[in-house]
Amino acid sequence: MRNWLSVISVVIALGLLFPGITKPVLSIEGNIDKSKLAQAGIEMLAEEGDGRTRSMLMMFSNMLGLDKLEGEISAYSKTQSILGTVKELANNNNLFVAALVALFSIVIPSLKLLMQLLYCCLPAGGVKQKLGLVICALSKWSMVDVFVIALIVTYLAGNAHGKSGELLIMNAQFGEGFWYFCAYCIFAILASNLIKTPITVSK
């Protein structure tokens, strides 16, 4: 029974990992208030003139109702997945960082889950024991993928903050990829706890 639960947990974790790395992790939008944008435009034009110019611009603004504009204009929008972040880092010549993110959030988790699935299906013997030792070694890196997802969220949020100004109002929300990846982590931990792997090679 335990073996079947292990297999089911691994299969579910594998199924959750793919959308977790391909679907958006974080969506960031930057909006500008229309009335503030109009006011900023007037201020910019007024700087090139004198006090009289400012007064005339303010008068025309009030006549046209620019100070009473409502709503926001979308000025910045970015939605990124883990895989998309790897590609962006690579395109920006951050190859080492891109390789690390890909290794710890895609390659190692996939390899570990596939090995766990094979381990559950193999009969008891020397091959299964050696595979179990490899899985134990990979398990030491089990929390790195969580750390990587935190770094990606921070990276995207930092980029957005760098583009923000006094007029730009930034809004961020987690995408479905974030929740898929969190669910993958839960099932991966469950699978690791259900699978009994050897700690040392018997002599």
Give pLDDT, residue 164. Answer: 47
**Are the beta carbons of 186 and 10 closer than 8 angstroms?**
no
Q: What integer pLDDT is reported at residue 3 of this predicted model?
A: 75
Give the Cβ contact number of residue 108 at 10 Å: 17
> Which residues touch 108 (CB under 8 Å, ≥6 apart)?
138, 141, 144, 145
Whether the full predicted model's pTM is greater than 0.85, yes or no, is no
- Domains of the chain plus CATH, in order, are 2-33+71-194 (1.20.140)
Q: What is the pLDDT of residue 54?
A: 59
Q: What's residue 201's pLDDT?
A: 44
Residue 124 neighbours by CB under 8 Å, 6+ apart: none
Q: What is the pLDDT along the chain (203 residues), one digit of tens a residue?
A: 567 888 898 999 999 999 999 998 878 777 776 666 556 665 655 565 556 655 665 665 555 555 565 656 666 677 778 888 888 888 988 888 888 888 888 888 899 899 988 988 888 888 888 888 888 887 776 666 666 676 666 666 655 555 545 566 667 778 898 899 889 988 988 888 887 665 544 43
CA dist 180 and 186 (Å) reads 10
Strand partners, 24: 81
> Hey, CA dihedral for 37, 39, 41, 43, is it positive or negative?
negative
User: 126-130 — which CB contacts under 8 Å span 24+ positions?
Assistant: 129/198, 129/201, 129/202, 130/201
Looking at residue 134, its pLDDT comes to 86
CA distance 164 to 32: 10
Question: What local confidence, expressed as pLDDT, does residue 124 receive?
Answer: 80
